[in-house]
Amino acid sequence: MTDTRRLWSEAVNRLEPYVPGEQPKAQKLIKLNTNENAFPPSPAVHRALTAAEVDRLRLYPDPNSQKLVNTLADYYCLTPDQVFVGNGSDEVLAHAFYAFFQQAQPLLFPDVSYSFYPVYCNLYDIRFQKVPLREDFSLVVDDYLQPNGGIIFPNPNAPTGMAIPLADIRRLLIANRDSVVLIDEAYVDFGAESAVSLINEFDNLLVVQTTSKSRSLAGLRLGYALGSAGLIEALGRVKNSFNSYPVDHLAEVAAVAAFNDDDYFQNACTQVIATRAYTVAELKALGFDLLPSQANFVFAKPQGQSAKAVFDALRERSIIVRYFDKPRIGDYLRISIGAQSDMEALIAALKDIAPH
Amino acid sequence: MTDTRRLWSEAVNRLEPYVPGEQPKAQKLIKLNTNENAFPPSPAVHRALTAAEVDRLRLYPDPNSQKLVNTLADYYCLTPDQVFVGNGSDEVLAHAFYAFFQQAQPLLFPDVSYSFYPVYCNLYDIRFQKVPLREDFSLVVDDYLQPNGGIIFPNPNAPTGMAIPLADIRRLLIANRDSVVLIDEAYVDFGAESAVSLINEFDNLLVVQTTSKSRSLAGLRLGYALGSAGLIEALGRVKNSFNSYPVDHLAEVAAVAAFNDDDYFQNACTQVIATRAYTVAELKALGFDLLPSQANFVFAKPQGQSAKAVFDALRERSIIVRYFDKPRIGDYLRISIGAQSDMEALIAALKDIAPH
């Protein structure tokens, strides 16, 4: 092949793309590696995808996804101009990085966190500085009180699963009013406190959530940002300079149906939390060290065996978890909370694997 | 409200977002303003969206959309590494602008063309130079033989509907080997010659197509690029630095079903072309000047009335067409080819509107 790199923009060479968790093709696996929900989406989602809605695909979707925006505004007690929707929270985050974090001062985020953040920084040539979590992996907001062009962290954090209280986020916002503080709440529905209640108080707060985890819609690609109208306007300007119609018609219809079935959502979250409690107790009994998780996964350190060895042994038994070969976290496994039966199979496998 | 602009990246101020054609909320309109297909998608699309596929939404989609990529590769007689898919051709174009057109020399495109091109240039701070179409709106490839950091135009062009022959594109590619030539073939299936057959000959050719027009899936957001493996690799690097999963699971399933029902597609295109011929003949009989269209729309200049006056009068009769208040094209209306009955209603309305 000829050297097509001569045709690339220079910037493409500096990109270091994100590597998502494996989506194995094999059936019959127990898949605990990408924090998906154990439950299918609400049956209301399937009912909403009628033949008439499919026929309507011949038309463009509403570029503003107004029905979905209104549904989310009602759900979170906000106004529609405080809501932005996109093609998964990854796209919403990408637009937020462009809209807010191209600044003279560096963006701050934890050294152990969602590994897509530095990837966005490379994409848009954004300066960043990693702020180390404390020795016990706790995130202390005082560590972020330094000159910055923005602050972002997940709450609960990933891959630790550890949450910080709302009072800490409020304290950070009071002390940091002139750059955007983005709280990535992908996992908030499994027990942490959301910062949505602070939006009317702080115009520099942006909260990003997703339907991928607690609404069982990872396959649908629907994320959203909640914040002051001025921040939402900036996101709209970026979106309308990139893709006028990021949310397809079926995704809008499905997401509206999912938010309208709150009982199903509450019940699924309750079951995930119960299964997490079971999993934590069993892993502790097996001698694992666990960080306190408020997410739909646990971050667990095996004793007497390396994390990599346990990862490989589980894989041989058709159980896929996530192992990160990275500083500080190479001794841990991130294990998604699947169905109760999946977790029982995991515990049985770990007993089998354990050194005798 | 406080001034949230203090929180924006400087770049957001320079953005001039694209304004898509209106998606009116009112029912009972005859909507001929955004070049949608008159026919619903293939019935195979609805059949493919089973309850099992909806339940599978709890899992992430395949980040590489491999089934769809393989389907497209087979369909166009290419290899899978020559195919890239994205969330509508607008997203595919955005990634291509980032991947290829951030160059020292300016990007070239026609002065009358898809108005999203300068918007992408603003987004990524790309230099560009508009190349005027000739007086009769024809695109002459020799006009592009000048120093450039890339060339892009639609074939057929929009909003003129005029196509250029494959021989012209080949001549351009032979003379311009060191920057990417992107042919935007959104409307190619309605009568123009595709450049896909040149891909194995020219490593700098990228062809972008969409399922929005000829496959009746505008609401689904599925576009794709076809080109040399080296160009596709660059697009993949950008995509994986922006959003790992741009194509949702239902969109992948639906698009595969649509491409597998080629009879339906061929029949729909044939009917659109026949209805276009009817529309052209009737408009000419009414004294309109028409550019020769190979697209699913016509670009028509009324006689004895301004385009704006006809646009307004049609709107009063619940018929929506597109009017551009812009240099060179302010005397024309862009009219999508709808169902035969829609076009008969249009002609009747125009007879009613005509000065007596």
Cα–chain center distance at B103: 24
Show the domain range for B331. Answer: 4-41+263-353
| Closest residue on chain B to A249 (Cα) | B219
State both tokens at B214.
């000829």
Strand partners, A184: A154, A208
Quote the CA–CA distance of B109 and B153 in Å, as a whole number: 6
Chain A partners of B20 at a C-beta cutoff of 8 Å? 60, 63, 244-245
Which among A58, A100, A237 is the nearest to B219, CB-wise?
A58
Q: What is the pLDDT of residues A133-150, one digit of tens each?
A: 999 999 999 999 999 999
Same domain, B214 and B283: no
Same domain, A186 and A294: no
Q: Considering only CA atoms, which of B248, B251, B239, B226 is closest in space to residue B81?
A: B226
With CB atoms and an 8 Å threshold, state whether A57 touches B220: yes
Q: How many domains does chain B have?
A: 2
Asked, for residue A66, whether it belongs to a domain, the answer is yes
- The CATH number of residue B286's host domain is 3.90.1150.10
Same domain, A250 and A288: no
Q: Indicate whether A178 pLDDT > 60.
A: yes
Q: Indicate whether A331 pLDDT > 60.
A: yes
Helix H or strand E encompassing B306: none
**Touching check for B123 and chain A: CB below 8 Å?**
yes
ipTM passes above 0.90? yes
Q: Which of B234, B261, B288 is the last residue of a domain?
A: B261
Q: Which of A233, A260, A287 is the last residue of a domain?
A: A260
Asked, for residue A315, whether it belongs to a domain, the answer is yes
CA atoms within 13 A on the CB side of A14: 13
In this complex, how many residue pairs, one in chain A and one in chain B, have their CB atoms less than 8 Å apart?
306
Same domain, B54 and B138: yes
State both tokens at A342.
């999946």
Confidence class for position A92, pLDDT limits 50, 70, 90: very high
Angstrom distances, CA of residue A200 to CA of A96, A229, B301, B304: 19, 10, 51, 55
Quote the CA–CA distance of B129 and B131 in Å, as a whole number: 6
Same domain, A276 and A207: no
Same domain, A141 and A223: yes
pLDDT value of position B244 = 94
**Touching check for B343 and chain A: CB below 8 Å?**
no
Angstrom distances, CA of residue B250 to CA of A221, A238, A295, B112, B247: 10, 26, 27, 35, 8
Asked, for residue A7, whether it belongs to a domain, the answer is no
Asked, for residue A278, whether it belongs to a domain, the answer is yes
Asked, for residue A129, whether it belongs to a domain, the answer is yes
pLDDT value of position B110 = 98
pLDDT value of position A2 = 64
Same domain, B75 and B164: yes
With CB atoms and an 8 Å threshold, state whether B23 touches A63: yes
Rama region for B3: left / alpha / beta (φ>0; ψ in -120 to 50; rest): beta
With CB atoms and an 8 Å threshold, state whether B248 touches A251: yes
Q: Indicate whether A129 pLDDT > 60.
A: yes
Asked, for residue A4, whether it belongs to a domain, the answer is no
Same domain, B102 and B191: yes
Confidence class for position A151, pLDDT limits 50, 70, 90: very high
The letter for the amino acid at A81 is D
Asked, for residue A9, whether it belongs to a domain, the answer is no
With CB atoms and an 8 Å threshold, state whether A18 touches B240: yes
Same domain, A153 and A235: yes
Quote the CA–CA distance of B15 and B18 in Å, as a whole number: 9
- The CATH number of residue B190's host domain is 3.40.640.10
Walking along chain B (356 residues) 10 residues at a time, the average pLDDT comes out as: 85 90 78 96 96 96 97 98 98 98 98 97 97 98 98 98 98 97 98 98 98 97 98 97 97 98 98 98 97 98 96 96 95 98 98 87
Cα–chain center distance at B234: 22
Same domain, B61 and B34: no
Q: Indicate whether A122 pLDDT > 80.
A: yes
Same domain, B222 and B288: no
Asked, for residue A13, whether it belongs to a domain, the answer is no
Q: Which of A195, A225, A260 is the last residue of a domain?
A: A260
| Closest residue on chain A to B7 (Cα) | A179
Same domain, B240 and B130: yes
Phi and psi at residue B129, to the nearest 5°:
-135, 125
